Structure 1
Amino acid sequence: MAFVDKSLSTFQRVYFKLNMLHTQAGIGGFGRLGCGFRLVASVLLLLAIQTVRDAPVAFATEQLPAVSGHLAILEDPSLALSLADVLRPEHDGRFLPVIGGDISLGITRSAYWLRLSLPSGTDAAAILTMSPNFLDAVDIYSAAPGQGRVANDYRLTQTGDHRPPINSGISAIADAVRVEFKDGETTRLYVRILNTNSATQARFHLSRVEDFASDLSATTLGFGVWFGGMIVLIFVQLVFYQFDRKLIYPLIAVRTLSLMLLYFGNFGLSRALLFPQNGPANDVFIGACGWGALCVFAVTNIKLLELDRKSTFLHRVYLLIAGGGLIGIVFASLHLNLDFAPFGSVLAALAAMLSLVISLWYAREDGVASLLRAAAFMVLVSGSIVSIMQRVAVWDMPNWVFHVYGVAGLIHIVLLTGVLAVRLRDAERRERIRNSQALEAAQSAERMAAALVEERTAELNEARRAAESALQAEMQSQIQQVRFLEVLSHQYRTPLSAIRTSADSIALSLRKGDEVNRSRIERIRQSVIWLVQILETNLQRSLLQGASIQPEPAPVTAGSMLRAAFKRSQDLLNDPDIRLDIDDSVSEIVLLVDAAMIELAIVNLLENAVKYTALKGSAPVTLSLVRDQIGVAIVVRDHGIGIPTDDLPHVLQNGVRGANASGAEGSGLGLSMVARIVAAHAGSLELKSVEGEGTTAKIILPVAADAG
């Protein structure tokens, strides 16, 4: 009871010290940090009371000797002591007692001898297991009950991850030996540990031979539950990511995986399953997993605590911590883990405590999510404190406390997953609100659009009626124009015919040598022909100004049609300088076209060519008939003023003329009419022009299907 009272007194002092820190934090304006201090203190005190109260009862009911209280340690910096040396009186007196049944020596390059003197009150056979199993070299010397005063009394079992695994058939995970006990006798064991690649610690546990299988099954089941729970959490975190594509979800999943890999090594599973024959590789694996977990911890906390948004300084601090983890991985890969471990351990402790402080500071920032986040870090830090206290043997704790940090890590990940769930729920709620607002806005926009459509429809109907009225007026005007030209043509034909007949009669009555009067009669005839051509051409143009052109195609040879157009232009344009060039191989090709329309199109092109050539000077115009890949090409080429480059794409539009055509009469309707005539015959019109050099117009017409 004195031991219990003394232990409780110690923990009460720890509790009141932390409680005083809470009070000071509250006075200083850091009340949220104070709540964290009080919670940590309460957890430690309750755990200590339960542990101390249970310890005597467990000892009293245990039939096997307890390791706790019967363990001593001797440091061997020289690495040279043998079993015979440590059995000598001068070394035996240097063994120091160890509180509890575990040792944690931290970072060391010395060898250590452990002495277990286990007095028994019964005859029994037991299995002594030692963990972890990743220490470099372990020599276990066990003697029969009542023996062990000389080296020859001991049986040697060599193990360690730098040695081949022992084939004792007892356990593949933990280093284990069989130990015999006899009533009234003491069983002695010496264990030599040499570990230079990781922190040195050892935990001993005794089980009856008949109970060992069930204990091992329970341990295996615990491992399975722990790792299975972690895998389920990773799956849940990745499912969350499918619903909310934010980086924090896969980061937490990676954090969970890093914790799994860390304990996969610390539980000895990596040595048993991955590296049974390769201790150095197992050392690299454990070291890399540890420092990798630190790196992932820092990177995840940047997003989890939103430090990239809240504090540039803290953001950089955590990036430095993550960089330290990466450096640790490099050291572990180079088998220099012990050189980096002191610095890395301080860095890990700083990261954990800093994360706890920040999470408590922002505990009320974001409702339930912030509280869960703070609780997650408090659980993790509390588990770390309890685990460290158990390893440094501040007081005697049961062996299961060794796994407190693993349980704390599991709870930590569960709480962080809860944070993600709350954030996902909040995101869904915000999304529903946004969708509702968007739907309302869409409905409002739909109503406005409907009203606008109705308004625009009314405007369009009004515009359509106005356009129909204008079109009707235009069509009526065109009809009247055509009728006027028809009447004019009819009225002019009679007097022109009379003039032509009279001129012919006068020519018959002239003497044979009267060339002067015959020349005058010929000019009268040409003038009559010219007037008739003007009337016919203008009448045809008027007929083609309607909304659509309806050609009446008939077979005609390309050469005859071109010659007719040439003759017509000669009469209409008063003998212009036009040179006709017909390819004989093309002349007899049959075209299925409205010859009158095509002739009118050619006459319009020739009229433009002659007119705009005259503005520049005197130069011939060429009318050609050639073969084209598609059919027959009618080409009109002049050397006139040309068409400006900017105007060329638009001159085929109705009423558009080139900017340099102001010196010539015209309305801009000719090329538009030509384009419409050609299009009505399934042909194409190509224009090429260089301002100041001339224009080339090409009409391409398809050949009749039976022309060959």
Structure 2
Amino acid sequence: MRNDKQTRSIAYRLAAFVLAVSLSLFAAGSAAAEVPPVRFGADSAEHTLLGHVAIQRDPTGQRTLADVVFGTDRLDFEPAPGSLLFGYTRDTIWLKTTVRLPPGFQDDLYVWFRPNFLDSIEVYAPTTADPRAASDFRMVQLGDHSKAQQNTFSFPFQGAKIPPPNTDTFELFIRIKTTSSLMLEGWLGSYTAFLKNAIATSAFFGFSLTFFLVLSVIMFINWRLSKAPILLIFSAFLFSQSVNVLPLSGLGLHALARTLPGLQDQVTQFALIICHALGLMLLAEQTDIRKGQPIFLWIYRLSLGYVLLGLPLSLLGYYREFIFQEFFVMLVMFLVFTYKNVAKAFQERDDARTAAIACIVYAFFAIPYHAVLLGFFVPTTRVVGLLLLGNFVFVCLMSVALMQRTSASERLRRESELLRISRQAERAAMDLAASRTAELVTAKEAAERALAQERAAQAEQLRFVDVVTHQYQTPLAVIRSSVTALRHAISGRDDANRRRIAQIDEAVRRLVEIMDVSLHRSRMDGYAGRANRSRVPIVATLTGIVHRSRALMPERTIELSTKGIGDADEAAVDPDMLAIALGNLIDNAAKFSQKQDAICLSASLRPDALVLTVSDEGIGIPEEDIAKVGQRYFRASNSSSVFGTGLGLHIVQQVAAAHAGSLEIRNRPQRGTMVTLTLSIEPEIREPLAGEDDRIAPSPTA
């Protein structure tokens, strides 16, 4: 709150300073005690009439040339101030100036006036050295309501050729009648001076018209690109400025006089009010007056409504009754907008700083100028001319301010658009993630259900195989026991019966092997390649496996070596898989070696693995077959005479893979085969999965 008060105080002081300095610069000069004549030198250069004229008003408009030259009204002339600006008036103005020419002056004289929107200008030049009647004067008619005459000009100002009388000193009388604001400037000079002035003025009007039109088009293009409303308003404001240049140059007035006779004043005033209204809308948009204090918004709305009311009034011809109040409203609103921009400049907005400078510069000229138009005081001519410079500076600075504002708005728009796109992308990603997550959850649940069903089926299959195996093993054991008993009961000389008993024993043994292989394969498939590790004592576990093999093959010598392994040493392995693997290796060693040959199982313990080696003294494996014997159903080329299925070493290889280990097969130097099974003991022990607790350890066969 305190900062706001300080800002308002600074703004008020700054506005008061601008107004005071402006008024002091535009202060009216006092009228001269006597009117000096216009003196021409040998160069015949241009000479301004202002400061060299006497003036009298004719409120009735009935005074004639004879009245002001030869009658009693001649005494009503009084020295005129530095410029002639008396606001909007219906009075007829008479001016008188004395011209002194150098001796022998032979050039034609030219007189020209600004502004162009003067209704009627009558210039009376004497035709004799000593005029005694109105008929001794020649009248030249000028003005935007007058028809063009020979040797008269309406562009870029009102001008005419005046043949000088045969005397060095004479008086010119000028009768001006207008309904516009009378701000008269006039010159006398030779044709060369007139031409130079016309070229300079035409160039200035051409530059002004081009400047406003080009800048208007640029702002319109920027509006099409950015869609910022303020740029469209500024483009329309600049276009209205260019339209208002036309009456000043005279081109627009005579074009209107031809197309709309008698309405050129109304149309010109209409264009001026349009310019004022667009200026109000521009500054209101630029200062964000709708977001500020409500009192300023109400003042703006009332002011804009009053200015727009002048549009129909100007077309109906009542602009003289309206324009005084309209100028006052514009003065008040310009002060408001200047204050708003100065206040925003203290809020560190770049566009507000530039706009504040633009308003202050324009206020330096525009506020006193409008006060002059209202007739409050009379300015000096040179300072009034600086109003145009202030207008150009205001437009340039305001263009920079609007481009800064538009650039900042465009940057914010792009940031907002990027933020919107990023949020939209984030929402899309979240939706996609949620959708994919839901799909994954659904797939996971389906997979878990399928896995549970598969494990249940595998467990059921294992139980079925165990039951079937047990059902077969019992009668096979009975048959085998009976065969053994018969072998002992039959006489040694009964070779035929002994041969039959041997055939029965071999058939039973093959059938038992087929049952064991099928059981081991079913159990390995049920494990699904996973080892259900648990810490088991190494020596006790290996002893149990060897004892089971000895029970199955009582005629074979099976040795166990656990050198370096203590009774308390443990290893994290799957005991069921270990039993299956060693059982297959011992069984293979027994099949491919003689009964009197020993089978040796040796074990060693490394920090990261348990190394088990089964060696025999059998027929060995051909070197070209060693790489293939782990494949399913593959049998070595020298094993055709021995019954087998080709699945034993494949099962052992699966056990090694489940324990992240390896299986190595090589022939011994003398004879036989050495198979090394390495089982990793590093992985952590995991709990059994659902269905895995139904796995049944291999049962010893008969």
Partner of 1:157: 140
Contact 1:359/1:373 (8 A) holds in 2: yes
C-alpha separation in 2, matches of 1:393 and 1:180: 39
Partner of 1:293: 275
Partner of 1:139: 122
C-alpha separation in 2, matches of 1:59 and 1:44: 32
Tell me the TM-score normalized by structure 1. 0.55
**Change over 3 Å in CA distance of 1:26–1:393 after alignment to 2:** same
C-alpha separation in 2, matches of 1:402 and 1:46: 10
Offset from partner CA, 1:292-332 (integer Å, 9 cap, x none): 22222222222121111112222121121112122212121
**Change over 3 Å in CA distance of 1:38–1:166 after alignment to 2:** same
Q: Does 1:30 align with 2:5?
A: no
What's the CA shift for 1:83?
A: 0.2
108-117 or 439-448, which deviates more: 439-448
Match of 1:106 among 87, 98, 111: 87
Offset from partner CA, 1:262-293 (integer Å, 9 cap, x none): 33224433213332475521111111112222
C-alpha separation in 1, matches of 2:434 and 2:6: 65
Q: Does 1:77 align with 2:59?
A: yes
The letter of the residue matching 2:398 is L
Contact 1:137/1:158 (8 A) holds in 2: yes
Following superposition of structure 1 onto structure 2, how do residues 305-320 of structure 1 map, counting pairs within 5 Å?
Answer: 305-320=287-302
Offset from partner CA, 1:537-558 (integer Å, 9 cap, x none): xxxxxxxxxxxxxxxxxxxxxx
What's the CA shift for 1:84?
A: 0.5
Q: Does 1:175 align with 2:154?
A: no
Contact 1:241/1:250 (8 A) holds in 2: yes
Contact 1:362/1:370 (8 A) holds in 2: yes
**Change over 3 Å in CA distance of 1:471–1:241 after alignment to 2:** farther
The letter of the residue matching 1:156 is M
Partner of 1:550: none
Following superposition of structure 1 onto structure 2, how do residues 521-532 of structure 1 map, counting pairs within 5 Å?
Answer: none
Following superposition of structure 1 onto structure 2, how do residues 396-475 of structure 1 map, counting pairs within 5 Å?
Answer: 397-398=380-381, 401-434=383-416, 452=434, 455-465=437-447
**Change over 3 Å in CA distance of 1:331–1:29 after alignment to 2:** closer
SS at match of 1:275: helix
SS at match of 1:280: coil
What's the CA shift for 1:165?
A: 2.7
Following superposition of structure 1 onto structure 2, how do residues 155-554 of structure 1 map, counting pairs within 5 Å?
Answer: 155-168=138-151, 170-180=153-163, 185-196=168-179, 198-276=180-258, 278-385=260-367, 387=369, 397-398=380-381, 401-434=383-416, 452=434, 455-465=437-447
**Change over 3 Å in CA distance of 1:458–1:331 after alignment to 2:** closer
Offset from partner CA, 1:392-436 (integer Å, 9 cap, x none): 79788456x554333322222222211111112212333454466
Contact 2:26/2:379 (8 A) holds in 1: no
What's the CA shift for 1:114?
A: 1.0
**What root-mean-square deviation, in Å, do the aligned CA atoms of Structure 1 and Structure 2 show?**
3.9
**Change over 3 Å in CA distance of 1:341–1:427 after alignment to 2:** closer
Contact 1:64/1:120 (8 A) holds in 2: no
C-alpha separation in 2, matches of 1:143 and 1:265: 31
What's the CA shift for 1:454?
A: 6.0
C-alpha separation in 1, matches of 2:197 and 2:438: 85
**Change over 3 Å in CA distance of 1:180–1:389 after alignment to 2:** farther
SS at match of 2:62: coil
C-alpha separation in 2, matches of 1:173 and 1:112: 23
**Change over 3 Å in CA distance of 1:422–1:277 after alignment to 2:** closer
Contact 1:136/1:279 (8 A) holds in 2: no
**Change over 3 Å in CA distance of 1:185–1:249 after alignment to 2:** same
Contact 2:111/2:161 (8 A) holds in 1: yes
What's the CA shift for 1:183?
A: 11
Contact 1:173/1:272 (8 A) holds in 2: no
The letter of the residue matching 2:10 is G
C-alpha separation in 1, matches of 2:283 and 2:292: 12
C-alpha separation in 2, matches of 1:169 and 1:109: 25
**Change over 3 Å in CA distance of 1:367–1:252 after alignment to 2:** same
C-alpha separation in 2, matches of 1:99 and 1:121: 27
C-alpha separation in 2, matches of 1:271 and 1:297: 23
C-alpha separation in 2, matches of 1:393 and 1:128: 29
Partner of 2:70: 88
Contact 1:307/1:315 (8 A) holds in 2: yes
Contact 1:87/1:149 (8 A) holds in 2: no
SS at match of 1:381: helix
Offset from partner CA, 1:366-400 (integer Å, 9 cap, x none): 5221111111211222222464688779788456x
What's the CA shift for 1:469?
A: 8.1
Offset from partner CA, 1:83-140 (integer Å, 9 cap, x none): 001012522221111123x311212222111112122346243321112232222221
Partner of 2:477: none
What's the CA shift for 1:250?
A: 0.8
Q: Which runs of 5+ in 1 are unaligned?
A: 1-24, 49-55, 474-708
**Change over 3 Å in CA distance of 1:224–1:393 after alignment to 2:** farther
The letter of the residue matching 1:186 is T
**Change over 3 Å in CA distance of 1:431–1:348 after alignment to 2:** closer
Contact 1:66/1:118 (8 A) holds in 2: no
The letter of the residue matching 1:175 is Q
Partner of 2:110: 127
Contact 2:156/2:202 (8 A) holds in 1: no
C-alpha separation in 2, matches of 1:327 and 1:424: 31
What's the CA shift for 1:462?
A: 1.8
Contact 1:133/1:175 (8 A) holds in 2: yes
Offset from partner CA, 1:234-281 (integer Å, 9 cap, x none): 122223223332221111112222222233224433213332475521
Contact 1:142/1:155 (8 A) holds in 2: yes
Contact 2:116/2:154 (8 A) holds in 1: no
Percent of aligned positions that are identical: 18
What's the CA shift for 1:227?
A: 1.3
The letter of the residue matching 1:105 is F
**Change over 3 Å in CA distance of 1:281–1:455 after alignment to 2:** same
C-alpha separation in 2, matches of 1:265 and 1:222: 14
Contact 1:68/1:396 (8 A) holds in 2: no
Contact 2:111/2:186 (8 A) holds in 1: yes
C-alpha separation in 2, matches of 1:264 and 1:363: 35
C-alpha separation in 2, matches of 1:199 and 1:215: 23
Contact 1:65/1:119 (8 A) holds in 2: no
What's the CA shift for 1:42?
A: 6.2
Q: Which runs of 5+ in 2 are unaligned?
A: 28-35, 456-702
What's the CA shift for 1:142?
A: 1.5
C-alpha separation in 2, matches of 1:308 and 1:45: 35
Contact 1:134/1:271 (8 A) holds in 2: yes
**Change over 3 Å in CA distance of 1:435–1:314 after alignment to 2:** closer
C-alpha separation in 2, matches of 1:288 and 1:438: 46
